[in-house]
Structure 1
Amino acid sequence: MIALLIVAGVLLLILVAWLMATANRLDRLHIRTDAAWAALEAALGRRAVVARAVAATVDTGSLREIADHAEHAARPDREAAENELSRELAAVERVRLPLALVAELSDAEQRVVIARRVHNDAVRDTLTQRRRRTVRWLKLAGTAPQPEYFEIAEPELNGDAAPVPRPSARVLLLDGEGRVLLFHGGNPSDENDTFWFTVGGGVEPHEDIRAAAVRELFEETGIKLADDELTGPVWRRRVVFSFDGRSYDAEEWFFVATTPTTTVDTSGFNRIELDTIDEHRWWSAADLRSTTDTVYPVQLADLLPELLAAEWDGRTKSVR
C-alpha cells in the first residue's frame, strides 16, 4: 500500500511538473509573440517615416496621407492600410529619388519583411501549443489573448515594378455537411510559404465574374453548375500578395455554391496549378478553428458558421 502511495505521489509530482513546464513555455511563447509584434510595429513605423520622406521628395500628398493612416490604423485595419502603403511605394519611380533615400527605403522594406516573418513564426508556434487538447482543457494559456498572424504582401526588394492588378472569382463550395472545399498549395519562390485556399482564379478580359466563377469551378473540380446555382458575391477581399517573385494587387469576389457530391476531379488543372497544388480537402468550421495551417481568407473560420446559419441578405461583405 505504501509503495502504491509512493508511486502515485511520484506520478502526481511528474504531472504537476509537466503542467508547470507547459504553462511556463506558453508564457515564454506569449512574451516572444508580444516582442515580435513590437518589433514588427517598429519596422512598419520606420517604413512610414521613410515613406513620408519619399512623399516630400516626389511631392505626393497622397503617399503622405496613406503613410500616416497606416502608422495610426487600429489593429483590425492595419493589414489593409499597410498593403495600401505597399502599393503606393511600389508605384514610386525610384529613379527620381536620391540614392541615399532609395537605400533607406529598401532597408526599411527589408526590415518589414524580416519582422513579419519572425512575428508570424512566433504566432505559429504559440498557436500550435495553445491548440493542444491538454492546454485547452486545463486552460493553461490563462487570460492571454490569442495571437493573430499579420498577413501583408512582402514588398518587392529588387526592382520597382508595381503590383499587377488581378481580379478573381472564387467559390465557397459546400458539401451536404456544410464543409468547404479548400486546395493546398505553395509559392514556387518560397518552399515554406504554403497555404489552403478556396476554389477559383483570375477573371479573363471582358469576362463576367459570375461566369468566371462557374468556369473556374468546373476547371478545378469537374463540377458543372449553372450561373443561378451560385449565390453572391457574398464577400469581397482586397489583398496584395507575392507569388513566384511577383506582387499582385488582387480583388477577389466570393460566391457560395452547394454540391451533392464530394468527388473532385482535378484533371482540368492548368500547368501552374499542377505544379503548385498538392492536395484538397473538405473543411468544417471546427477544422478551420483548430488548424495551425495558413488559410485564406484568414477570417474563413469565423465567417463560415455565419454563412451557413442564414440566407444571404444581398450585401457583399468585405473580408480579410
Structure 2
Amino acid sequence: MSPSGEVLLLCDQDPGRPGDLRWGTIGGEVDAGETHQQAAVRELFEEIGLRVGPERLTAAFHRDEREFSYDGRLYLGDSTFFGLALPRDVEVSFEHLEEAEVGNVFEARWWTPEEVRADGRLVAPDLPEIMTLAIAAVAQHERNHA
C-alpha cells in the first residue's frame, strides 16, 4: 500500500484465455515447507523483484477459499492475504517471474479500491473489498511499529 492509500496490483492473463486481462494481487502458491508468510515474501521477490523481511508484512488480514481456472485446469485456491507499506515510487521488476508467468504478467499499477472497481477487470469480484482491508491492515501495522 502506498502512503496515499493505493494498492499495487498486477495485470495478468490466464494463458488459457489470452487477451483476457485482469488485475489482481501479488501472490501465488505456498511451497512445501513454507509458511504463508514465507510464501508472501518469496512471491514479492518473484513477481515484482522486491526483497523484504517478513517483519515488514502485516499480520494476515483476510483468508478465503475459491475455485478458479488457470490454463484450462480447475483449482481450489486457499488464499491468505498480508499487507505491506511501500513508497509509490518502488522499483518493480519482472525479471524473476516463474516460467509460466513470463509473457502472462504485463504491468504493475497503483489503484484505489474505487478505481479498480470502476475498471471492472478484476481477478475476483471482491478484490476492492480485500484492498480496503489491506489499507486498514497496513495503517494499523504502521501505527504499531512507529
Which of 135, 140, 143 aligns to 1:311? It is: 140
Which structure exhibits the higher relative contact order, with contacts defined as CA atoms closer than 8 Å and separated by 6 or more residues?
2
After superposition, where does 1:61-140 map in structure 2 within 5 Å? none
| TM-score, structure 1 normalization | 0.40
The aligned residue for residue 127 of structure 2 is 300
The aligned residue for residue 144 of structure 2 is none
Write the distance in 1 (CA, Å) between the matches of 2:102 and 2:6. 24
AA aligned to 1:292 is G
The alpha-carbon deviation at position 285 of structure 1 amounts to: 2.3
Write the distance in 2 (CA, Å) between the matches of 1:254 and 1:210. 9
AA aligned to 1:267 is E
Which of 96, 118, 122 aligns to 1:268? It is: 96
% identical equivalent positions: 32
**Which 5+ residue runs of structure 2 have no aligned equivalent?**
142-146
CA contact (8 A) 2:62 2:130 kept: no
In the alignment of these two chains, the number of paired residues is: 138
Q: Deviations over 1:13-60 (max 9, x none)?
A: xxxxxxxxxxxxxxxxxxxxxxxxxxxxxxxxxxxxxxxxxxxxxxxx
Write the distance in 2 (CA, Å) between the matches of 1:198 and 1:233. 14
2:62 paired with 1:235: yes
CA contact (8 A) 1:184 1:197 kept: yes
The alpha-carbon deviation at position 307 of structure 1 amounts to: 4.1
After superposition, where does 1:1-320 map in structure 2 within 5 Å? 174-191=1-18, 193-260=20-87, 261-293=89-121, 295-309=122-136, 311=140
CA contact (8 A) 1:182 1:196 kept: yes
Write the distance in 1 (CA, Å) between the matches of 2:69 and 2:33. 25
CA contact (8 A) 2:83 2:135 kept: no
Which structure shows the bigger proportion of residues in helix conformation? 1
| TM-score, structure 2 normalization | 0.83
Which structure has the larger Rg over C-alpha atoms? 1
The alpha-carbon deviation at position 205 of structure 1 amounts to: 0.8
Write the distance in 2 (CA, Å) between the matches of 1:303 and 1:208. 21
The alpha-carbon deviation at position 275 of structure 1 amounts to: 2.3
**Which 5+ residue runs of structure 1 have no aligned equivalent?**
1-173, 313-320
The alpha-carbon deviation at position 306 of structure 1 amounts to: 4.8
Find runs of 4+ consecutive structure 1 residues off by over 6 angstroms: none
